Structure 1
Amino acid sequence: MLIALWIVNAILGLAFLAFGLMKVIRPKQALYDNGLTWTEDFSAGAVKAIGVLEAVGALGLVLPLATGIAPILTPLAAVGLAIVMIGAVVVHVRKKEGAVPAIVLAILSIVSAVLGFLVVLG
C-alpha cells in the first residue's frame, strides 16, 4: 500500500506543484489569455492564494512521508487538496466549463487521503 501511496502522491505532487506555481508566477491576465477563464471571477490575490495552496499541498503530499517527520500531514494535505478541487469543480460547473480535470484531481486526492491514512495510522 505504501508503494501505491507513493505513486499517487508523486503524480499529484507534480501536477499540483506545476499548476500552483503557474498561478503564483504568471499574472492573472496571462492565465486568462491561456484559457483559464475562471480567473475573471476572482481577484489577482485570490488566484495567487489558490496557487500557493496547491503548491504547499503538493509539498505536503511528499515531504512528511519522505522525511518521516509528522507523516500524518501527508493525508491531511491530500484532504486539503481534495477540498480545493471540489471548489474548482463547483466553479467550472457554474461557468459551464469542462470540470473533468478538476474531478480527476479531486478523486485522486481522495484516494491519496485514504491510502495515506491507512499507511500512517495502520
Structure 2
Amino acid sequence: MDLALWIAAGLLAAVALLGGSTKTFIPKEKLAAQHGGEWTQNAGVGFVKTLGILELLAAVGLILPAALDIAPVMVPVTALCWILLMVGAMITHRRLGQSKLVLVNSVYLALAVFIAGGHLLGTN
C-alpha cells in the first residue's frame, strides 16, 4: 500500500506541477486559446496565477513532507485541498459543457481521495 500511495502522490504531483507551471508562467490569453482554457476568459489574471501557485504548492506538499519526514501530516492535508480544487474545476468545466475535462478532473479527485484516505487511515 505504501508504494501505491507514493505512485499516486507522484502522479498527482506531476499533474499539479504541470498545471501550476502552465497557469503561472503562460499568459492568460494563450491559456484561453488552448482547448479547455476557456474558463480563463472571464477570470482575472491574478486569479489564474493564484491557482497556478496553489498547484505548484500542492506538487511540493504531496511529496516533500513524506520524503523528508518533516510534518508528514501535510500530505493528506494537501490531498484534501486538492479535492476541493478539483470539485471547483469540475463545476467550472461542467458549466462550460466540457464533459471530458470533468472526467479528467474526477480521476485527479479520485487519486487525491486515495492519497488522503491512505495517509489518514494510517497505512503510511
- Interval containing the TM-score (normalised by the shorter chain): over 0.9
Aligned to 1:19: 19
Aligned residue for 2:121, secondary structure, equals: helix
Hey, what's the Cα distance between the residues in 1 that align with 2:121 and 2:63? 16
RMSD: 1.3
Aligned to 2:84: 83
Q: Which moved more, 1:111-120 or 1:74-83?
A: 111-120
Hey, what's the Cα distance between the residues in 2 that align with 1:79 and 1:2? 18
Percent identity for Structure 1 against Structure 2 = 33
TM-score of the pair, normalised by structure 1: 0.94
What amino acid is aligned across from residue 67 of structure 2 in structure 1?
Answer: A
Aligned to 2:41: 40
Hey, what's the Cα distance between the residues in 2 that align with 1:87 and 1:113? 18
Aligned to 1:53: 54
Hey, what's the Cα distance between the residues in 2 that align with 1:87 and 1:66? 29
Tell me if 1:104 matches 2:119: no
Residue 25 of structure 1: how far off its partner (Å)? 0.3
Q: Is contact 1:2-1:119 (8 Å) kept?
A: no
Aligned to 2:29: 29
Which blocks of at least 5 consecutive residues in structure 2 are unaligned? Answer: none
Residue 108 of structure 1: how far off its partner (Å)? 1.0
Which blocks of at least 5 consecutive residues in structure 1 are unaligned? Answer: none
- Runs of 4+ aligned residues of structure 1 deviating over 4 Å after TM superposition are none
Residue 85 of structure 1: how far off its partner (Å)? 0.6
Residue 67 of structure 1: how far off its partner (Å)? 0.1
Q: Kindly tell me the number of residue pairs found equivalent between the two proteins.
A: 121
Aligned to 1:7: 7
